[in-house]
């Protein structure tokens, strides 16, 4: 690579850091190979698919077509499908970086041993997120295949949407990981679950935010899932415009903030 | 000792947690190839010191140099050359015995093939080769400890930190761990360990410090410490169920020091048999008499007191 030639030292350092993070990912892969993990994986994918079929297709018959921000009309199933895709990316990432991460942090105490090696908290966070992305990526890929097969998007736009779902997952994963470091016990997960479900219902998923009163509409547009939904809807319906940049920027900022928080807090908790 | 000889050099090292001072300005030098021990009751600051040396805890004050590097700045580079066996086995219960080593080796950026070969070798070393494919959970306490030790060796460390390596193990398991640690020492690996077992310290340590309430109260080889802070022999006398209150006066002048405990009286002396004869000579008839060598335990109790700490 050209960059390797120009910045040999910087690149080798980056390489080293990346391989550190990947070794954390590799640990999860090794663990997953034993566990009944693959069944758990399946459940996270089935849920949004059920929503898509019952509400998108079923309720969609009653609702009729719906207008996109640019005025184009799409079927209700086409409207709901990208939202379920975004929700699935969110759920997959959060499942990994809240419950599972918390368990490893506080109960299995996996990272106590990890951090006694050259691995840093930031590498642990990134490695865990990459793992969450692997899981989220599988969900999204399967979901996109279903969407394309049901004619809810084209194969081409589905291909564009896949990396975007990873960004959505990355942002939510980072946020979830950051928040998990603040939780005191398993009871606190109720807060995350309620918030997650609220986001799922209101983030422009089943109806456009403009259907709600203005204060609620503003609230919706501040929360993260709305940006994931709007971004993926613009792509799978084939109508991206410049606003996608804003959504991407929002999600990248969220990912960076979440990662920073997660690694700092991990340092505070484990490197006393 | 000159600064450059020391693998670990702590100077006025302090660790505070809020208002509580866990380590209160200690100076320690550990030389290459020696087995160095931190002794002390619970809460003396041993583990806090070990965590600072392991570069997973930032010193609040003082200087700490390890392998010629600054612990506050080069933590990752130092950790790459350390092996750590923490007080509580922090094994990965979701992985097999072998994977616990190979996955850990990846954290040191050790190539997969090398990691696997080394892991097999280490499992052999700690006598767990036949359990390589098993889960960790059903292993006995001694096996888990040995696996933790094997894991600490996966990066071929120059210094191995062992925080209470045999606490909670049965005698067979302890002796096996000691023997493996002794072999490591023979290979030139520097061992730093904490313990509150005196026999462990006498078995393993070339040099040790006794810590109490965050400070170092004594330093030297086990023999030196016994010579300096205790006596060559100790006479233990019992008088059945009689109250022992008045005996301090009756035995006064025998040996170097007399300590009256609720159940027995200890006479610290260079010659236990002579002291026993003196006791009989004063017309006293103990129900039992025992002469034993002065031990590190006597030093320990002398220095850190008999009061229960926690």
Contact yes or no for B92 and A109 at CB 8 A:
no
Contact yes or no for B90 and A30 at CB 8 A:
no
Name the residue of chain A whose CA is nearest to B18's CA: A272
Cα–Cα distance, A253 to B9 (Å, whole number) = 43
Q: Which of B76, B92, B103 shows the shortest C-beta gap to A120?
A: B76
Question: Among residues of chain B, what percentage have pLDDT more than 90?
Answer: 58
**How many structural domains comprise chain B?**
2
pLDDT at A173: 94
Cα–Cα distance, A120 to A111 (Å, whole number) = 10
Q: Are strands B207-212 and B215-220 parallel, antiparallel or unpaired?
A: antiparallel
CA atoms within 13 A on the CB side of B240: 5
Q: What are the CA-CA distances from residue A191 to residues A218, A221, B168, B204 (Å)?
A: 22, 20, 40, 52
Distance from CA of A20 to the nearest CA of B (A): 6
Question: For residue B34, is pLDDT > 90?
Answer: yes
Cα–Cα distance, B192 to B35 (Å, whole number) = 6
Closest among B301, B291, B290, B298 to B230, alpha carbons compared: B298
Biggest CA–CA distance in chain A, Å, is: 62
Does B212 map to a domain? yes
Cα–Cα distance, B22 to B44 (Å, whole number) = 7
**How many structural domains comprise chain A?**
1
Distance from CA of B182 to the nearest CA of A (A): 23
**With bands split at pLDDT 50, 70 and 90, how would you rate the model's confidence at B121?**
very high
Q: How many CB pairs under 8 A join A and B?
A: 72
Each residue's pLDDT tens digit, A2-12:
555 666 666 67
Each residue's pLDDT tens digit, A68-102:
888 889 999 999 999 999 999 998 899 889 988 99
Place of tokens 């079929």: A53
Q: Is this complex's ipTM strictly greater than 0.90?
A: no
pLDDT at A56: 81
Each residue's pLDDT tens digit, B60-114:
999 999 999 999 999 999 999 999 999 888 899 999 999 999 999 999 999 999 9
Mean pLDDT for chain A?
Answer: 89
Q: What are the CA-CA distances from residue B195 to residues B64, B85, B89, B144, B211 (Å)?
A: 22, 13, 15, 18, 11
Does B304 map to a domain? no
A259 forms beta bridges with none
Question: For residue B145, is pLDDT > 60?
Answer: yes
Dump the DSSP string for B120-178: HHHHHHTT-GGGTTSBSTTS-HHHHHHHHHHHHTTT--SEEEEESTTTT--HHHHHHHH
Pair B184, B242 in one domain:
no
Distance of CA B157 to the CA centre of its chain: 19
Alpha-carbon torsion A40, A44, A47, A49, what sign? negative
Cα–Cα distance, B140 to B135 (Å, whole number) = 12
Range(s) of the domain holding residue A68: 2-270
In eight-state DSSP terms, residue B96 is B
Pair B159, B272 in one domain:
no
Q: Quote the Cα angle for A135-A140-A145, to 5°.
A: 135
**Residues in chain A, pLDDT under 50:** 1
Q: What are the CA-CA distances from residue B211 to residues B16, B29, B245, B296 (Å)?
A: 16, 15, 31, 13
pLDDT at B284: 85
Pair B77, B154 in one domain:
yes
Does B183 map to a domain? yes
Name the residue of chain A whose CA is nearest to B86's CA: A113
Question: For residue B5, is pLDDT > 90?
Answer: no
B298 contacts: CB under 8 Å, gap ≥ 6: B226, B229, B230, B231, B234, B266, B268
Does B11 map to a domain? yes
- CATH classification at residue B283: 3.30.70
A62 contacts: CB under 8 Å, gap ≥ 6: none
Cα–Cα distance, B276 to B235 (Å, whole number) = 7
Cα–Cα distance, B283 to B272 (Å, whole number) = 17
Asked if B106 has any chain A CB less than 8 Å from its own CB, the reply is yes
Pair B136, B259 in one domain:
no
Distance from CA of A112 to the nearest CA of B (A): 7
- CATH classification at residue B122: 3.40.50.300
Taking CB atoms and an 8 Å cutoff, what residues of chain B touch A106? Answer: none
Mean pLDDT of the B228-242 span: 87
Mean pLDDT for chain B?
Answer: 90
A4 contacts: CB under 8 Å, gap ≥ 6: A11
Q: Which has the higher per-residue pLDDT, B310 or B186?
A: B186
Question: For residue B305, is pLDDT > 80?
Answer: no
**SS3 assignment, position A153:** coil
Residue A60 · residue A80 · CB < 8 Å = yes
Dump the DSSP string for B185-231: HHTT-EEEEEES-HHHHHHH-SEEEEEETTEEEEEE-HHHHHHHHS-
Q: Which of A108, A115, A120 shows the shortest C-beta gap to B93?
A: A108
Does B300 map to a domain? no
Pair B197, B77 in one domain:
yes
Does B308 map to a domain? no
Residue B40 · residue B304 · CB < 8 Å = yes
Closest among A161, A48, A44, A144 to A97, alpha carbons compared: A44
Range(s) of the domain holding residue B289: 231-294
Pair B84, B135 in one domain:
yes
Mean pLDDT of the B174-182 span: 90
Distance from CA of A143 to the nearest CA of B (A): 29
Does B299 map to a domain? no
Of B159, B186, B220, the domain-final residue: B220
Does B155 map to a domain? yes
């Amino acid at each position: 690579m050209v960059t390797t030639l120009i910045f040999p030292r910087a690149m080798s350092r980056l390489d080293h850091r990346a391989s550190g993070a990947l070794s954390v990912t590799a640990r999860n892969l090794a663990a997953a190979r034993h566990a009944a993990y693959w069944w758990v994986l399946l459940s996270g994918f089935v849920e949004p698919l059920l929503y898509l079929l019952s509400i998108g297709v079923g309720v969609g018959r009653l609702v009729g077509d719906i207008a996109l921000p640019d005025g184009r009309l799409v079927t209700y199933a086409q409207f709901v499908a990208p939202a379920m895709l975004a929700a699935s990316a969110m759920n997959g990432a959060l499942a990994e970086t809240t419950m599972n991460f918390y368990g490893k942090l506080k109960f299995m105490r996996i990272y106590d041993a990890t951090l006694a090696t050259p691995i840093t908290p930031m590498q642990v966070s990134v490695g865990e997120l990459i793992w969450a992305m692997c899981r989220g990526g599988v969900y999204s890929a399967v979901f996109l295949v279903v969407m394309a097969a049901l004619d809810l998007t084209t194969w081409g736009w589905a291909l564009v949407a896949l990396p975007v779902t990873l960004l959505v997952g990355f942002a939510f994963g980072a946020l979830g990981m950051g928040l998990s470091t603040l939780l005191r016990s398993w009871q606190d997960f109720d807060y995350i679950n309620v918030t997650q479900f609220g986001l799922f219902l209101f983030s422009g998923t089943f109806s456009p935010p403009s259907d709600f009163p203005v204060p609620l509409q503003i609230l919706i547009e501040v929360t993260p899932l709305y940006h994931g939904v709007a971004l993926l809807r613009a792509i799978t319906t084939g109508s991206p415009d410049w606003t996608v940049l804003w959504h991407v920027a929002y999600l990248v900022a969220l990912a960076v903030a979440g990662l920073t928080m997660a690694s700092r807090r991990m340092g505070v908790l484990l490197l006393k | 000792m000159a600064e450059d000889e020391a693998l670990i050099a702590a100077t006025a090292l302090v660790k505070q947690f809020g208002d509580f001072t866990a380590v209160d300005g200690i100076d320690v030098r550990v030389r290459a190839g020696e087995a160095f021990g931190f002794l002390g009751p619970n809460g003396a600051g041993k583990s806090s010191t070990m965590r600072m040396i392991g570069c997973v805890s930032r010193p609040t004050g003082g200087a700490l140099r390890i392998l010629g590097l600054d612990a506050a700045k080069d933590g990752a580079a130092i950790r790459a050359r350390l092996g750590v066996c923490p007080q509580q086995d922090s094994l990965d219960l979701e992985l097999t015995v072998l994977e616990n080593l190979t996955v850990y080796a990846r954290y040191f950026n050790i190539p997969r093939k090398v990691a696997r070969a080394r892991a097999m070798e280490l499992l052999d070393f700690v006598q767990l080769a036949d359990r390589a494919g098993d889960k960790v959970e059903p292993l006995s306490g001694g096996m888990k400890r040995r696996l933790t030790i094997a894991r600490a060796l996966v990066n071929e460390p120059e210094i191995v930190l062992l925080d209470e390596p045999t606490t909670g193990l049965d005698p067979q398991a302890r002796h096996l761990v000691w023997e493996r640690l002794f072999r490591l020492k023979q290979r030139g690996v520097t061992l730093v360990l904490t313990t509150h077992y005196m026999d462990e310290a006498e078995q393993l340590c070339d040099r040790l410090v006794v810590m109490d309430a965050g400070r170092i109260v004594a330093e030297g080889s086990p023999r030196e410490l016994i010579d300096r802070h205790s006596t060559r022999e100790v006479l233990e006398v019992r008088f059945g169920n009689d109250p022992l209150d008045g005996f301090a006066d009756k035995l006064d002048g025998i040996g170097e020091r007399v300590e009256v405990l609720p159940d027995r009286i200890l006479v610290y002396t260079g010659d236990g048999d002579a002291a026993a004869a003196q006791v009989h000579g004063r017309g006293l008839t103990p129900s039992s008499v025992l002469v034993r060598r002065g031990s590190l335990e006597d030093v320990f109790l002398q220095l850190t007191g008999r009061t229960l700490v926690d």
